[in-house]
Chain A
């Protein structure tokens, strides 16, 4: 570790933690329709959207109406994207004359961007037109993040409100999240990125004659605008195939800092938004402490494991040191590891180094971050609603231990709520273990792995974990673009997205309907170090332990066999 490594870590934590209380309050004000400094500019656009769409903003939804609206919107958006990807060959803004995607790939891509996963079984600069990138992918990057934020505030309202069926209006929540919550920040980040060297143009790819006289095609495009939202919206789908490792997508150490901080900027702030909803910021601090603890445990582990020289390259002619295969010089080890940990903790899935070439235990940290269900900050909205599910499970377990009806912020957890909670605990195991096991046991699909030994198994495990967790990063040597994996991973992404959203909305409806019992001296406090530790253990035991055997077969076996 050098001085610039410490400065990078310091700047990263300052950028994500310092604005969070202010930004969290801003999101609360925005989602509750209160006036903010952006209102004079954006309120007319917001009203115009409601008028054109026939939405009555004052009319709230119950949980079923909210769910139907969300599903209708996602279905319509996914269908439009699917059509754009299939037909891009005959659509405008296609300077390289790229053909449409094959149907299973187009379906996989549409599901991937609709579910905020951004799993990419294709390479952007070689297969997508400017139109597909903008009108197709950028739009879903915005609205899938806005959908996550909408579901979160519906759950917050369910916890905060009493004896009501109303959870808010999905159309309004979606519109506000997009216009106020995402657009302004994206505009700022996009311009910062262009300043650092990210292209933003509609010109054709440039043709160059290299210094030694060879021909070189330089891919261009409206990249900065898309990269800004793919970072801030925890989407992660790169404009270029190698994602934020591409020097056009992430040109300098500074752009690396801006991009990696953008991944969890909003998820950290939303923890405070929750505190404003329940009028108790102590709850936010307890949850934030747990998230930070998990982040730091994973981060410190990965920083240490990735400093270890690869024993397989032990050779007197080769300089010993932290491995550089699959890393970029301008980021170095710390810049790459910080990104790896952040992107997997936060369901972003963009990469600035190739995870396939990481040391085995570093790759394992990335997998564990995803396997616990993307709750360590997690996706925009999705991370915190996933974390709140663990909070409720921890409260339920505490209730069992002290022999009282479990209560969270005055709301009693009863049979129906616990059934819904348990249903969400099954999502990750079904997507990773069941679908992954099917893929691993069929000879055709299993042949997609490109590395021998336990690492090959890790590649497949990573793919299904990433899909189900709606992360989108990959051990990218895995040959995912086959009809089988396109469809199976699309299924995993759908299970991973709606397997949470539907129970969360049902839970929100059920909690909203309850009256709130006054909290007394006998209530189990859900703030403070005791609860934070209980929450941490719940996440590691209920979320992580399920996957230990698969990790033993993959990264742990690889680590031991390489003799680290």
Chain B
């Protein structure tokens, strides 16, 4: 048995050195040189340099003057992230969805898009489908007293259409642009 001991222990140590230390350090080195923005968390800063969030992590927004992201099962907690894990037949899911739909429903706009009623897998989904943005646009335009067409131009700028996935709008980026265009008093 001792014949196995030395190679086993030495290879565990050597593999730890190579794959557990050298490899992550090499990736970090190259990543920090080539893609420093992304490697450090795609942080979003304001004019004063204060970190206001990450473009990839949703923030909770409340009030009529902001676009709201998807609901979060973990109330937008980042440590730890979490999902509802409600089964499709769980009565708690139907109750929550109907209650939220009753609040958000606008007869003039039709039924509420599902993205505004369902919690995301991460609880931190930074995006919304364009239809879910369109559903909120009249409310935000009214609250900020901005013409809807002007707001739509901002939305179009913040819309991503990858070749291999659905079109999405980054809510934080959009809200930041919105705040520059027509600041809400007190923010």
Contact = CB atoms under 8 A, between A and B. Distances in A.
B31 interface: yes
Interface stretch (B81-89, B136-144, B147-155): B81-89
Contacts of A55: 7, 11
Nearest to A353: B121
Given A201-B40, A251-B56, A323 B125 contact: no
B99 to A, nearest CB: 10
Contacts of A72: 1, 4-5, 7-8
Interface in A257-314: 257, 310, 312-313
Contact of A207 (B51, B60, B83, B160): B51
A83 to B, nearest CB: 12
A43 interface: no
A325 B166 contact: no
A441 interface: no
Contacts of B118: 323-327
B108 interface: no
B81 A208 contact: no
Interface stretch (A152-160, A171-179, A497-505): A171-179
Most A CB contacts (10 A, CB to CB) among B11, B83, B114, B162 go to B11
Interface in A134-188: 134-136, 138-139, 141-143, 171, 174-175, 178-179, 182-183, 186-187
Contacts of A222: 24, 27-28
Contact of B30 (A76, A191, A247, A476): A191
Contact of B164 (A4, A135, A142, A359): A4
A174 B8 CA distance: 11
Contacts of B60: 210, 212, 214
Contacts of A194: 27, 31, 34-35, 38-39
Nearest to B169: A329
A195 B38 CA distance: 7
A475 B32 CA distance: 36
Contacts of A524: none
Contacts of A217: 78-79
A206 B51 contact: yes
A76 B9 contact: yes
B97 A211 contact: no
A438 interface: no
Interface string B17-58: 011110110111011101100111111100000111111111
Given A241-B80, A326-B85, A331 B165 contact: yes
Interface in A318-371: 318-321, 323-332, 335, 351-354, 356-360
A48 to B, nearest CB: 8
Contacts of B62: 212
A495 to B, nearest CB: 22
B98 interface: yes
B30 to A, nearest CB: 6
A213 B88 contact: no
A134 B19 CA distance: 8
Nearest to B11: A53
Interface in A453-475: 453, 455, 458, 475
A215 B147 CA distance: 32
A327 B120 contact: yes
B38 to A, nearest CB: 5
A228 B30 CA distance: 15
B158 interface: no
Contact of B165 (A4, A174, A558): A4
Contacts of B166: 2, 4, 253, 329-332, 335
A225 B23 contact: yes
A220 B41 CA distance: 7
B134 to A, nearest CB: 12
B101 A202 contact: no
Nearest to A362: B88
A354 B83 contact: yes
B19 A209 contact: no
A219 to B, nearest CB: 6
Contacts of B93: 312-313, 325, 357
B18 to A, nearest CB: 7
Interface residues of A, number: 128
A203 interface: yes
B43 A208 contact: yes
Contacts of B81: 123, 125, 240-242, 246
A197 B42 contact: yes
B79 A219 contact: yes
Contacts of B172: 211
B176 interface: yes
A73 B85 contact: no
Contact of A225 (B28, B78, B89, B98): B28
A331 B70 CA distance: 14
A200 B122 contact: no
Interface in B86-122: 86-91, 93-94, 97-98, 101-102, 105, 110-115, 117-122
A253 B70 CA distance: 18
B182 interface: no
A321 B112 CA distance: 11
A460 to B, nearest CB: 13
B27 A125 contact: no
A211 B39 contact: no
B50 A209 contact: yes
Contacts of B160: 252
Most B CB contacts (10 A, CB to CB) among A134, A191, A317 go to A317
Nearest to A74: B8
Interface string A44-66: 01000100111100000000000
Given A183-B18, A200-B28, A218-B54, A352 B12 contact: no
Given A75-B8, A325-B86, 18 more contacts: A4-B162, A53-B10, A77-B12, A138-B20, A174-B11, A216-B53, A225-B24, A245-B121, A247-B125, A247-B126, A252-B165, A329-B70, A352-B121, A357-B93, A359-B88, A451-B87, A453-B87, A477-B86
30 contacts: A54-B6, A80-B16, A134-B20, A136-B20, A191-B30, A195-B34, A195-B38, A197-B56, A208-B52, A211-B53, A212-B60, A218-B43, A222-B27, A241-B82, A242-B82, A242-B83, A242-B121, A245-B122, A312-B93, A325-B86, A325-B93, A325-B118, A327-B121, A328-B121, A332-B166, A455-B88, A458-B87, A475-B85, A476-B85, A477-B86
Q: Identify the 6 closest CB pairs spanning chains A and B, nearest first.
A: A253-B165, A477-B85, A245-B121, A455-B87, A123-B80, A53-B10
